[in-house]
Structure 1
Amino acid sequence: MTTSESAILSSALAEQTTGLKSRFADGKYADLSIEAGERKWRVHRCIVSSCDFFSKACDSGFQETTTGVVKLPDDDPAAVNALLEYFYGRDFSRPSQDNGHIGFKEDILLLIAIFHLAGNYLVQSLENPAETRFQAALQANSLSGYVPDMIDAVDDMTSDGADGADNLQKMLITRICASEQDVFGNLEKVQGASYSFERQTDASVQRCTSCGEESG
């Protein structure tokens, strides 16, 4: 393929993606509803059926086939929005921290929820950007005051047997070890979090040369 042909193809794909994103935003020609919490989306079966779960919900004679409504009562609505957005544009957005709509804690917990949801619905290609943005958010922000909630969220996902959860766990442990002065001054708060995760955190802390602590 020549450079010119590649440019034409890239332009066509970008235009197609823009069109799909517009249909997700306005719901025009939608033929399926998805509900999670108080939120409701009008989507297109031909798009969301790229996921086996939604494909089976539309084709297997389940209640959703006749009602045209798929209910996800146990899923985080913000994470569901990211999942659906990904179906239409192979990417997802998060509420901006800059405009005050979301803080670091909410952002990091949302990324964990998106990663978890991607695993539950076997959308492995969504796990990669969620994991990458999780790591970037950890590196760019102070963890002080947020560690227990993050530990609990990652530990819940690990307890559910989510594929890839260990990666998020290792990233969080590594980040905690790299910022011991920021985090370990409030070690009692960390110790009040999930016990199973805490044991792994303690083991990593003992191995962390930057902490200056001797293993027990």
Structure 2
Amino acid sequence: MPASDLRLSTVDSPSDELMNALGTLFELGKYSDLTITSGIRRYAVHKAIVCSRSGFFDGACSNPFKESESGTIDLSEDDPEAVDHMVHYFYHLEYLTTPRVQPQGTTLSSPLASPISQKHLSFDSIIDENHSEVDEIESAAEQQAKGSASNLTLHAKVYAIAEKYGIQGLKTMAKNKFSAQMAYHWDSPEVPLAIQEVYETTVDSDRGLRDVITSTFRCYPELAQRRDVEAVVKETPELAWELFRVGWDLPLTLSS
């Protein structure tokens, strides 16, 4: 191998070089010209990075609002963990790359959870009825879901905050991760909480995560026999209506 080729093979690729530089900017806060606050957390960010990715941040910084004058945007009303992952995504194009520790007292052997089935839910069956998003499911999301603790509720929160602030790439990533987690953790005790989170934070016309949930019930009707899931369905009229239509093999949306 020529010496010049050897030197090129030992350095980062241009894309790696860029991502490493962005990660360093995030970690050190160098050249920061904007601060995002979330409770006691403060993030030294850069307008060129966050405003070019979100219409909300662009508007807050380019119009005569208090945020543009103070150089601070307060997101304390949002879920702090979702904010943390959103900001991380701005600089890394990824979030939650390491498994979260399973909460104490929450195991897959919970008496409220149905027995683990020998059949395995595939990605192809956790998408909408038209199967139009198979190609969008990222292999990285699938690999992260294997063997990791359930993060369904977290991904639902990230999906909601991405929708709120108009970050389409993050929204797509959160949906992919939610789909992957549901495929591997459909019998997790966290499922009722995730269902509740999805139906409380998304509108009826946003079918992204809702279709994942109804597809899971379609694939695993025994999920409806769990008492904790039944309680959530009773408290969520929209889901109850959708499951009624699923039971009768009807489309989830009424034709005009």
State the TM-score bracket (shorter-chain normalisation): 0.7 to 0.9
Offset of residue 108 of structure 1: 1.0
Counting matched residue pairs gives 198
1:94 Cα offset (Å):
5.3
Tell me the alpha carbon deviations over residues 96-150 of structure 1, each in whole angstroms, 9 at most, x when there is no partner. 23x4479756x21111111111111111122211111100000111435434322
Return the alpha-carbon distance in structure 1 between the equivalents of residues 238 and 196 of structure 2.
Answer: 10
1:131 maps to what in 2?
175
2:117 aligns to what? none
Q: Is the 8 A contact 2:19 2:91 kept in 1?
A: yes
Q: How many angstroms apart in 2 are the aligned matches of 1:144 and 1:54?
A: 36
Equivalent pair of 1:79/1:117 in contact (CA under 8 Å): yes
Q: How does 1:76-155 map to 2 (within 5 A)?
A: 76-93=79-96, 96-97=99-100, 99-100=101-102, 104=149, 107-155=151-199
Of the three residues 49, 63, 80, the one matched with 2:66 is 63
1:158 to 175, 179, 202: 202
Aligned AA for 1:83? M
Shift of 1:192: 3.0
RMSD: 2.8
Q: Using the alignment, how far apart are the partners of 2:50 and 2:39 within structure 1?
A: 19
Paired AA for residue 32 in structure 2: A
8 Å Cα contact 1:37-1:76 kept in structure 2: no
User: Residues 148 and 192 of structure 1 are in contact (CA less than 8 Å); yes or no, is this contact kept in structure 2?
Assistant: no
Query: Which one of the candidate residues 208, 211, 233 is aligned to 1:170?
Result: 211
Tell me, in whole angstroms, the C-alpha distance in 1 between the residues paired with 2:216 and 2:248. Answer: 14
Tell me, in whole angstroms, the C-alpha distance in 2 between the residues paired with 1:154 and 1:73. Answer: 20
Query: Are 2:38 and 2:75, in contact at CA under 8 Å, matched by a contact in 1?
Result: yes
Q: Which runs of 4+ in 1 moved over 4 A?
A: 99-105
Instruction: Give 3-state SS (helix, strand or coil) of 2:166's partner.
Output: coil
Query: Residue type matched to 1:170 in 2?
Result: D
Q: Measure how far apart 1:183 and its partner are.
A: 4.3
Pick 1 or 2: higher relative contact order, CA cutoff 8 A, min separation 6: 2
Q: Which protein has the bigger helix share?
A: 1
Residue segments in structure 1 that go unaligned for 5+ positions in a row:
209-216
Contact kept? 2:224, 2:230, Cα under 8 Å: no
1:200 paired residue among 242, 245, 248: 242
Q: Name the counterpart of 2:49.
A: 47
Farther-moved stretch of structure 1 (142-151 vs 21-30): 142-151
